Amino acid sequence: MKILVIDDQQLVLLSLKKKLTEAGYTVETAACIQDGIRLFDTFSPNLVLVDMNMPEMSGRILENCTGKEVVKYIRMFRSSQVPIMVLSGNTSESLILENFKLGITDYLKKPVGLEELLARIGKTIGFPNESDKVLQRSSRQVLGKHCVGVVIPCYNEAGRLNAEVFKDFAFNNLGYHLCFVNDGSSDNTLEVLREIRRGNEDHISVYNCPVNGGKAEAVRRGMLHLAKDSQFDYIGYLDADLSTDFRDFNELVRTLEDSTFKIVSGSRISRMGADITKESARKIISKSINLIIQSILGMPFKDTQCGAKVMKRDLVRKMFSRPFVTKWLFDVEIFMRMKSEFGQKDAIDFICEQPLKRWKHADGSKLSYKDSLRIFLQLFKLSWVYRKKKAGRVTHNVLQPDQKTVPNFLT
């Protein structure tokens, strides 16, 4: 039994081909409509699985482009009744009805569990041998509504990285790609990251910076690297200790999916029903810092420093093209850059501060109490630099890495 999968996102193609092949199907994939149509004629599939959000026949990427051309080609031009199943994050009733009028067999709304997808395929064209075992093994895997890249900066994290949590998340969330950035660690963090990646190469990568440049630079490089890949709809970052866990990060992504926001930022503000744990002294320092940040920003956000944020891919280059002014306060500077780019009113409208349901302070944090006190001085430095920038008297030079500091992407 042969299946043709057409989708412009490699994460989806790789995931579906692997799982459908494991289920016993013969699978071919296409990353554009033109290749999909060509393969339909040469491969003669028993079923076509197509994403509805695909580039049009002209090859141009349009804001509201669809893959309906594939359906039209099969049903109208080829007069074929081969089953066509549509995968889409678009849940518009009118679009679904339009597709059924064109002659599709089934419409699956993302996110969709792999078990459900395989069950629908099996009901439509039959099950290969022993695919019931594949269904049981894959029951937790989900194909997301969008493809998301996540940068995870790491400096001497060998003793704190929870390898199984990262592996499990990458295996079960097929629309995610985790990019670990090794920030010149002096321990065996790089070896640990390589081991986490082993067997998960499609969904986990390691970006190695030979020299420690600080968290701000590690995140910046990782974000810019992922932004080069057009398959990602959203790109964010998360702390390696998972003080904000993947459940809350998923919630940030869902908020971005269903809104006009450009950035969704986690907030660790204590509230009823949330499990937010901080040391008492750290909590006092955090509140003091946040009050100063609110005063400098002139914006109503209460926790800019939370290490969990996700944004639309087209925003990444605007926010991360220049090195950050300070070592610890790059999160604040992102808010300042948003204000500079869009103006205060629009920046406030484009940023969503979403309270986390849980957050745990992890032992071994790289930020000491002495560093916390230094942040007060860095805040005034940041305020001064952006005042000068607003006045047009300061320019930022983009870092030109030399041979010692250029990162290596491990493929």
Q: Are residues 154 and 85 in the same domain?
A: no
pLDDT value at residue 243: 87
Does 150 or 405 have the greater pLDDT score?
A: 150
Q: What angle do CA 105, 111, 112 make, to 5 degrees?
A: 50
Give residue 397's pLDDT: 44
Q: Which residues contact 118 (CB under 8 A, 6 or more apart)?
A: 19, 20, 23, 131, 134, 135, 138
Rounded distance between C-alpha atoms, residue 205 and residue 323, angstroms:
23
Which residues share a beta bridge with 112? 143
Confidence band of 381 (pLDDT split at 50, 70, 90): confident
Residue 81 CB neighbours (<10 A): 10
Do 117 and 156 have their domain in common? Answer: no
Position 56 pLDDT exceeds 70:
no
Same domain flag for 23 and 170: no
Average pLDDT over residues 17-34: 93
pLDDT tops 90 at residue 75: yes
Helices 215-227 and 313-320: crossing angle, nearest 10°? 140
Q: Angle of helix 330-342 relative to helix 280-297, nearest 10 degrees?
A: 20
Q: Which pLDDT score is estimated for 401?
A: 40
| Residue 405, pLDDT above cutoff 50 | no
| pTM for the predicted model, two decimal places | 0.83
Whether residue 259 contacts residue 350, with contact meaning beta carbons closer than 8 Å, is answered with no
The mean pLDDT of the chain is 84
Of 132-146, 213-227, 233-247, 394-408, least confident by mean pLDDT is 394-408
Between 83 and 402, whose confidence is greater?
A: 83
Task: Give 95-112 pLDDT, tens digit per residue.
Answer: 899 999 999 999 999 999
pLDDT, tens digit (0-9, with 9 covering 90-100), for 322-367:
999 887 789 989 999 999 899 999 999 999 999 998 666 555 555 5
Mean pLDDT over 135-142 rounds to 64
Last residue of a domain, one of 125, 142, 159: 142
Residues near 308 by beta carbon (within 8 Å), at least 6 away in sequence: 236, 237, 238, 239, 244, 248, 249, 252, 265, 266, 356
Distance CA 337, CA 334 (A): 5
Are 96 and 117 within one domain? Answer: yes
Provide the residue range defining the domain that includes 203: 146-410
- Strand order of the sheet with strand 408-410? 351-355, 263-267, 309-312, 234-237, 148-154, 176-183, 204-209, 408-410
Residues 156 and 182 in one domain: yes
CATH number of the domain within which 45 lies = 3.40.50.2300
350 token code pair: 């484009």
Same domain, 33 and 136: yes
Domain termination site, one of 142, 171, 198: 142
Q: Which of 222-231, 263-272, 394-403 shows the lowest mean pLDDT across its residues?
A: 394-403
- pLDDT score recorded for residue 55: 54
Do residues 68 and 200 both lie within one domain?
A: no
Residue 16 backbone class (left: φ over 0; alpha: ψ -120 to 50; beta: rest) = alpha
Tokens 């909590």 locate to: 283
Give bridge partners of residue 267 from the DSSP assignment.
355
The average pLDDT across 60-72 equals 66
The predicted pLDDT at position 263 comes to 97
Q: Are residues 119 and 208 in the same domain?
A: no
Report pLDDT for 369: 58
Q: Is the predicted pLDDT of residue 232 greater than 70, yes or no?
A: yes
What does the pLDDT read at residue 284?
Answer: 57
Question: For residue 67, is pLDDT > 90?
Answer: no
Same domain, 43 and 171: no
* Claim to verify: residue 351 and residue 215 sit in the same structural domain: yes
pLDDT for residue 133 is more than 70: no
Give the number of other Cβ atoms within 10 Å of residue 317's Cβ: 12
Number of Cβ atoms within 10 Å of the Cβ of 56? 15
The residue count for the chain = 411
Pair 188, 225 in one domain: yes
User: Residue 382: is its pLDDT beyond 80?
Assistant: no
pLDDT above 50: residue 62: no
CATH number at residue 219: 3.90.550.10
At 52 the pLDDT is 84
Q: Which of 142, 172, 188 lies at the terminal end of a domain, its last residue? A: 142
CB 269 within 8 A of CB 302: yes
pLDDT at 65 over 70: no
Model pLDDT, residue 394: 44
Question: Which of the four pLDDT bands, split at 50, 70 and 90, describes residue 224?
Answer: very high
Q: How many independent structural domains does the chain possess?
A: 2
Does residue 110 sit in the same domain as residue 162?
no
pLDDT digits (tens, 9 = 90+) for 263-307: 999 998 765 455 555 555 555 566 666 677 777 777 888 888 888
The predicted structure's pLDDT at residue 68 = 87
pLDDT at 131: 54
- The mean pLDDT value for 196-222 works out to 95
